[in-house]
Amino acid sequence: MLALLRKWTIAAVAVLGMTAAGSAYSAPKTVLVVGDSLSAEYGLARGTGWVALLEQRLKAEKIDARIVNASISGETTSGGRTRLPVLLQQHKPDVVVLELGANDGLRGLSVPAAADNLRTMIQLAQQNKAKVLLVGMRMPPNYGRAYTERFAGMYKDLAGTYKVPLVPFMLDGVAQDAANFQADRMHPLATAHPTILNNIWPQFAPLVKR
């Protein structure tokens, strides 16, 4: 009788273990996107920006993930740094996508200051056990070679230091043609956002597939 009871106990523990493992495996990942107008669907119909397209692609590929788009038009790295601690506490993301810096660059703000803000954001996300994807931007050539090179190099340096995947230029294949932009010549049309997603997806996908 005692031997039979032990077998039942072992079987019950094994079943509970399998159930717990299955629950952990099936738990959806939370993806937090912290960006500016390029991620906030500025000037676009709701649901046509790259973040919305990302959500659709995750569903199509049967990847169980929840997207929280905390992007704000006009956001700078300083604003993102200020908001991030509360966002991390509120949403407890598994993945944080940082798409910031464009507004710093367009305003000619200090590259070291922007780098410091992004550095702090990466560190905060990693301290909260989140994987980070850094989405880079480049400045137009009229900002001068020295500034544009420092600006682009900022993302590369941060990605290397903190060992996070990098999308070097989210507007690759878009910025080269003015026909891809709205009347302000700064914000891409909805038709360009699939290209933006295609630039981001190869670096993003491994973070949610693990």
184 catalytic? Reply is yes
Cβ atoms of 64 and 28 closer than 8 Å: yes
71 catalytic residue (yes or no)? no
> Distance between CA 8 and CA 39 in Å, rounded?
54
Q: Which amino acid is at 131?
A: K
Which one is catalytic: 36, 37, 71, 193? 37
Pick the catalytic residue from 23, 26, 177, 184.
Answer: 184
Cα–Cα separations (whole angstroms), residue 72 to 59, 80, 101, 182: 24, 9, 13, 18
Question: Which of the following is catalytic: 71, 94, 104, 187?
Answer: 187
Q: Would the CA dihedral through 194, 102, 33, 131 be positive or negative?
A: positive
Please indicate whether residue 37 is annotated as part of the active site: yes
Catalytic residue numbers read: 37, 184, 187
